[in-house]
Chain A
Amino acid sequence: MEIRTAETPIADNAEGDALKKLKRGFDVRLHGEAEKVINNQVQVNTFAVQPPNFAGISPMPKLEVQEGQHVKAGDALFFDKRNPDLIHVAPISGEVIAINRGERRAIQEVVILADRTIQYRTYAAVPNVENSSREALVAFLLESGAWPLIRQRPYNVLADQNAVPRDIFISTFDTAPLAPDLNLIVEGKAAVFQKGLDVLNRLTSGKVYLGIDGRGISVPSTVFTQANGVEKVRFKGKHPAGNVGVQIHHIRPIRSKEKVWTLGVQDVLTLGTLFLEGKYDASRIVALTGAALDKPAYVKTCIGANIGDLLKGHTLDGNARIISGDVLSGKSKLPAQFLDCYDDQITVIPEGDDYELFGWLLPSSARPSTSKTFFSSIFSNIWVYNVNTNTHGEKRAFVMTGQYEDVLPMDIFPQHLLKAIITNDIEKIEGLGIHEVVEEDLALCEFACTSKQPLQKILREGMEMMIKEGL
């Protein structure tokens, strides 16, 4: 724990954009923020595309490559058997060196040993964004393999190419613990970003919305604030104000039978490059964060980079946990594994597998908490914490009420939604708004839960049930 000086608030620089002030939420302030310099020299040797990253892919995808085969960036690796148009492509050129399988021989990773210089697949013709038909754009996105970058809500699945989304939403800031600064990532890429937005504009019958950082602690990049042809809405509030799900809820909530699409900022850049330069550029700037890292920093790499390679040069404590994503909704990884497709952050924190004498009553170290029973809660806005993975208590029945609602700035009753999922009450699940939330939105509720319930897991089960029921 240390004290971080409060950032000086910056004057309002928005020009008439709508501003939504969200009162509820909680910032988990952790030690180990990445230094705002991008390291371009990191040498990553292997990359992988991981079918489990894409929810709803049929039991096993159909492979198009074999071990030993050489692929270019943008070449197809596998496709969904039920939806053969939906191909997944190599983020980088190189040799396919392994196809790792898990339970029931399900494909877990298609691993590529990268070339020294990336060779890109070339396309017969890149459609012109302004003049081509929507169908032509969709067909090109599918063919190029950029389609899986677009995700669909409800349920956070791959976008349905036969559907026209009501709207498309992009959040341009991330409020998750130690999240990367997207302003840094888009610096100097205004044209590429704008191109990506232009493509998206053609895909929806509604609008493309950008959620802009309205918290006033840093100036949002002009790449975002001066983007054309999109609706900009500023959000002011604590985490999860930067979650696209929360922003959708406040801009135009998803009702039953409606579909909206979402993308990450770097996914938009990939689309932009595809149409500007005619190449599938899967490069990503990734923030390496967390108190267990000696030099938290940004690195330039590609989708699916090997984690061990990314963390090379850092002295890693053997008893640390590596997470692809943030500490609330990321996935635990081993150094031999790979960055998940949609992640732009790696967090490394110490494990907390230690007994603490009267730890529940008189904790020996300060820890982030939404509870006011801790002395540190008085300083929760200025203190920065060292965290570990200890559960700080055991799983219990739902006892406390109103906790989840206090940290979720949405007009939703998470506890009742989760209870409805547990009891398979489909009508209620739908009515209570399962269409509007995905795991990352309830992650903070799970963090705050006194009873240590696995909320994200329960929600995912509910979503799978809804998908199965065709709702």
Chain B
Amino acid sequence: MKQTLLKFLKRIEPDKEKAPLLHTAYDAFFTFAFAPNTVTKEGVHIRDGMDLKRTMVMVVIAMQLCYLWGTLNIGHQHFAALGKYQQHILEGFHLKLFYGLVQILPIWIVAHVVGLGVEFYFAARKKHAVEEGYLVTGALIPLIMPPDIPLWILAFSIVFAVIIGKEAFGGTGMNVVNIALLARVFVFFAYPGTISGDEVWVSGLTKAAPGGVAEYGWIHLNVLNPLFENFGWSTFQAGQAVVDGYSGATPMALAAKGGWEAVTQHYTPSQMFWGLIPGSIGETSKPFIIIGALMLIAMGIASWRIMVSMVLGMVTMALVFNWWGFNAYMEIPWYYHFSMGSFLFAMAFMATDPVTAASTNRGKWIYGFLIGMIGLIIRVMNPAYPEGWMLSILLLNVFAPLIDHFVLQSNINKRMKHVQ
């Protein structure tokens, strides 16, 4: 069986010279199916079983619960605006799941086809194998976008991020800033209307506020509805109105306007913790993110130092703000900052990117702590954009080499001191 498959794959191998792009793509998929038969030549004779493919896939696996929740929550938020199926997330399960899938699948496909296309092109041009970094980037991008993001903007942002952020610097391992965040920040600055404000976090409404109505596409009405009817299940009904008093605002936006009081008028702390709130696709469910983070720590893939220090930095700053109490936002108890917004997601999956984070252990403590502090400052004090992790991580990405420089310099000085 294995030999037959191997023979078949070897037979269809495209010519490297005549079709370099095709060969690169073939090679990426071939090495995905079969671990190559290369043996060690010089240096060590045996190698650890760990490689970059496995590392990257483990991160993707750690994100899967966020995908599951994100998909359901797209549907849940949509129906919450219409005042339906609000008891718990499993009520109206088939509607929520399929609504979510119809939203998220195109995003996922575009993220991978466009991103991997760019990767394959550059790998073929530079004549090296496709490096696996994009596996994680491609999995992260859908999770940090709003559910209604126009696909062409998404594609554009990915091309920008991969070319300018990574390939221009030499590819995987050479990038200065986090590619997934660069894609997001590109959308944020170039097309702010699609990724900020109260309207964009709930999907499929003409307006995510009273006066809006539900809209469905061809797939919902002509494919899914007949299917559901067949089983005798409830169906999508276009034109339903958004309920009175509904606001699509995220807890962050509410907190910026009126502090904790404004937040609790719309959401309970437990809703925020479990993730039954509008937001970017994958960042709402705190328990699932925590499970992912614990998986990454247990497998030794993401740095626990960065995660812990980021928590410490955020808590420190939150305590300072609590004590300062200049406005209502500052007075939000420090522990609620964990369940509002995307702090945990940024901590688990964004700040820990090994390429763009500080690379020394002491540097990681400083790096994480500063992200925590600066991120909260941006979250609380920036009047235009009530969330801070994306910007603070990108800022510290740029400073990470400087932090490492000082750590290394202190090590060098220690060694040199003995010379005199």
Contact = CB atoms under 8 A, between A and B. Distances in A.
Given A402-B361, A431-B412, A450-B55, A396 B172 contact: yes
With most chain B CB atoms within 10 A of its CB, the pick from A360, A388, A398 is: A360
B419 interface: yes
Q: How large is the interface on B (under 10, 10 to 19, 20 to 34, 35 or more residues)?
A: 35 or more
Given A400-B354, A413-B360, A452 B47 contact: yes
A347 B40 CA distance: 15
Given A359-B34, A391-B47, A443-B44, A396 B360 contact: no
B57 A361 contact: yes
A285 B415 CA distance: 38
A426 to B, nearest CB: 13
Contacts of A428: 408, 412
Interface stretch (A43-51, A185-193, A211-219, A369-377): A369-377
Contacts, number: 212
Interface stretch (B13-21, B69-77, B274-282, B295-303): B295-303
B44 A397 contact: no
Contact of B359 (A359, A412, A415, A446): A415
Interface in B132-166: 132-133
Interface in A306-360: 321, 323, 327-330, 332, 347, 349, 351-360
B35 A359 contact: yes
Nearest to A372: B300
Interface string A244-264: 000000000101110000000
B139 to A, nearest CB: 15
B49 A363 contact: yes
B65 interface: no
Given A373-B54, A394-B51, A321 B411 contact: no
B114 interface: no
A389 interface: yes
A373 B359 contact: no
B47 A392 contact: yes
Contacts of B52: 393, 396, 399, 450-451
A394 B48 contact: no
A448 interface: yes
A454 interface: yes
Nearest to B414: A411
Interface string B31-48: 101111111101111111
Given A394-B129, A397-B171, A353 B39 contact: yes
B173 A456 contact: no
Interface in A379-410: 387-394, 396-402, 405
A394 B45 contact: no
Interface in B396-420: 404, 408, 411-412, 414-416, 418-419
Nearest to B52: A396
B34 A356 contact: yes
Interface in A403-435: 405, 411-413, 415-416, 428, 431-433
B361 A447 contact: no
Given A257-B419, A359-B34, A451-B173, A370 B299 contact: no
Interface residues of A, number: 72
Nearest to A402: B361
Contact of B408 (A390, A416, A454): A416
A355 B35 contact: yes
B5 interface: yes
B43 A450 contact: no
Contacts of A372: 298-300
Interface string A440-471: 00010011111110111100000000000000
Interface string B214-228: 000000000000000
Contact of B5 (A323, A330, A357): A357
B44 A329 contact: yes
Nearest to A373: B299
With most chain A CB atoms within 10 A of its CB, the pick from B6, B35, B412, B419 is: B35
Nearest to A357: B2
A62 B254 CA distance: 85
A368 interface: yes
Given A367-B49, A371-B49, A413-B411, A454 B300 contact: no
A370 B48 contact: yes
Contact of B49 (A328, A354, A392, A431): A392
Given A356-B34, A456-B43, A450 B416 contact: no
B367 to A, nearest CB: 11
A381 B320 CA distance: 46
Contacts of A297: none
A28 interface: yes
Contacts of B414: 411
The 7 closest A-B pairs by CB, nearest first: A393-B51, A359-B35, A397-B173, A431-B412, A401-B359, A371-B50, A367-B49
19 contacts: A253-B415, A256-B416, A328-B46, A361-B53, A369-B50, A392-B51, A393-B53, A396-B51, A397-B170, A397-B173, A415-B359, A428-B408, A432-B415, A443-B44, A447-B47, A450-B51, A451-B52, A451-B173, A456-B43
Given A369-B49, A387-B46, A401-B303, 20 more contacts: A253-B418, A332-B45, A347-B45, A349-B46, A355-B2, A355-B34, A359-B34, A360-B35, A368-B46, A368-B48, A369-B48, A373-B58, A389-B40, A397-B171, A416-B404, A428-B408, A443-B43, A451-B173, A454-B42, A456-B44
Interface of A: 28, 177, 253, 255-257, 321, 323, 327-330, 332, 347, 349, 351-361, 363, 367-374, 387-394, 396-402, 405, 411-413, 415-416, 428, 431-433, 443, 446-452, 454-457
